[in-house]
Structure 1
Amino acid sequence: MADVLALQAIRKSYAIGTPVETEVLHGIDLTLRAGEFVALIGPSGSGKSTLLNIIGLLDSPTSGRLEVTGADTTQLDDAARTRLRGHAIGFVFQYHYLISAFTAAENVMMPMLVDRGHPDRQMEQRADELLDWVGLSRWRNNRATNMSGGQQQRVAIARALAMEPALVLADEPTGNLDTASADSVFALLRRINAERGTTFLVVTHNMALAERCDRIVELVDGRIHAERA
């Protein structure tokens, strides 16, 4: 299997060149292979969010090498990074960030609309296919505000898959859900991983969910403290 993500000696500092310069990531090495489902755990302040932002190409490392689907992102300009992010990486957050005035189908279409600039029938078909896949065909025309928390997160997952990304970054995707809904959403992520071969990196504080992943990576004080299968 090919590497979907490869980090080599990733460091991140803030306030560089000032008396309060602080390094928050200290030489991170991490590889995710195609089809892996990996949990990223660690205490608050360990650098998880900073690392996820760098992997998601929302921020840049101070030094080190970051490859996404074989592309060395440190050699890309902003436009190329944006294109790569839009096509190769999907995002699922703790809060769904759906557009409340839009229907479920319209929310799922948004990444495609941003990419192509105008709606078309192919986008609608893709949105319908994904909503069916996450079990929400009946709710395609419902606005986000007229759905339960679990349903909203399923729409967010469908949206994350709209561009068929190789990698999905999920930041506490079940954090706002009750136990039953959290279990259902996590089971959906695992099914997507198994049936579509999508690679997942899931940040979670829920150790019961982390133990259901293929591998657990623990981050402590900006360093990988441990990895275990």
Structure 2
Amino acid sequence: MADTEHLVQLEQVTKSYGVGTPSAHEVLHGITLTITRGEFVALIGPSGSGKSTLLHIIGLLDHPTSGTLRVAGEDVAHMTDAELTELRSERLGFVFQQSLLLSAFSAVENVMLPMLLHQHYPDTAMRERARGLLSSVALDRWADFPARNLSGGQQQRVAIARAMAMSPALILADEPTGNLDTVAADGVFQLMRTMNTDHGTSFLIVTHNAALAQRCDRILNVVDGVLVPSSHGRAPR
């Protein structure tokens, strides 16, 4: 039975590159952590510390070298690529530093993409859901605008709406405010927090922004591939 409270569980996870060669290098060293439903977590650490590698493993975009990874209670070790893709599309959403929108597509078409990949054909319900998500991120007026005509902050809002398209339990955000000015970054952060409180969606946010991290519920710090003891943010709401 799937574990609906413990969304992600890592036990003694390591990640090495170049295994079996003279250049073998271990990037992650025995990472153990749990992310539960409704958490809003920051992942911080110096450049090259292993943050992105850890995020890719949690996001089922890379495989651990050793240790155990469970997503929604399911051990992913022996899953096929097709099973991993299905689990990823059903349980996880992604927001990156670059919005990665299709520039010629409208905002609503970009939000529909995950649903199209799942269903393979568009329908009225899909388009209505995409418009509803854009409304929830205050972009209903721009729903039919090409993504290239939107500001950086607006594009990130579309990216968050797109990440919510399949109602994921957990959204993984890799430097989602890194390319934004202070005002736009605060708006995107507040939007993610609203999604967290209104929908119960968990967030794991990789950031170099210390002030933003302090506004999260919990802070995970990766240093040289090791997870140091977590702490609580100062202003979780």
| Structures share fold, TM-score greater than 0.5 | yes
SS in 2 for 1:173: coil
Question: Is 1:192–1:198's contact at 8 Å kept on the other side of the alignment?
Answer: yes
The aligned length equals 229
Letter in 1 for 2:206: V
State how far apart, in whole Å, the 1-side matches of 2:187 and 2:95 are.
Answer: 15
State how far apart, in whole Å, the 1-side matches of 2:59 and 2:212 are.
Answer: 22
Aligned to 1:27: 30
Q: Normalising to structure 2: TM-score of the pair?
A: 0.95
Cα offsets for 1:142-194 (capped at 9, x unmatched): 00111111100000000000000000000000000000000010000001000
Letter in 2 for 1:25: L
State how far apart, in whole Å, the 2-side matches of 1:118 and 1:107 are.
Answer: 14
Aligned to 1:94: 97
Aligned counterpart for 1:113 among listed residues 116, 137, 143 = 116
State how far apart, in whole Å, the 1-side matches of 2:119 and 2:65 are.
Answer: 32
Aligned counterpart for 2:219 among listed residues 212, 216, 219 = 216
Aligned counterpart for 2:57 among listed residues 44, 54, 57 = 54
Cα offsets for 1:70-122 (capped at 9, x unmatched): 11111211110010011110000000000011000000000000111111111
Question: Is 1:219–1:226's contact at 8 Å kept on the other side of the alignment?
Answer: no
Could you tell me which runs of 5 or more consecutive residues in structure 2 were left unpaired when the two chains were aligned: 233-237
Aligned counterpart for 2:147 among listed residues 144, 147, 150 = 144
State how far apart, in whole Å, the 2-side matches of 1:70 and 1:139 are.
Answer: 39
What fraction of aligned residue pairs are identical, expressed as a percent? 60
Q: Normalising to structure 1: TM-score of the pair?
A: 0.99
SS in 1 for 2:77: helix
What RMSD, in angstroms, separates the aligned Cα atoms of the two structures? Answer: 0.8
Aligned to 1:192: 195
Aligned counterpart for 1:204 among listed residues 202, 207, 214 = 207
Aligned to 2:70: 67
Aligned to 2:17: 14
| Misfit runs of 4+, over 4 Å | none
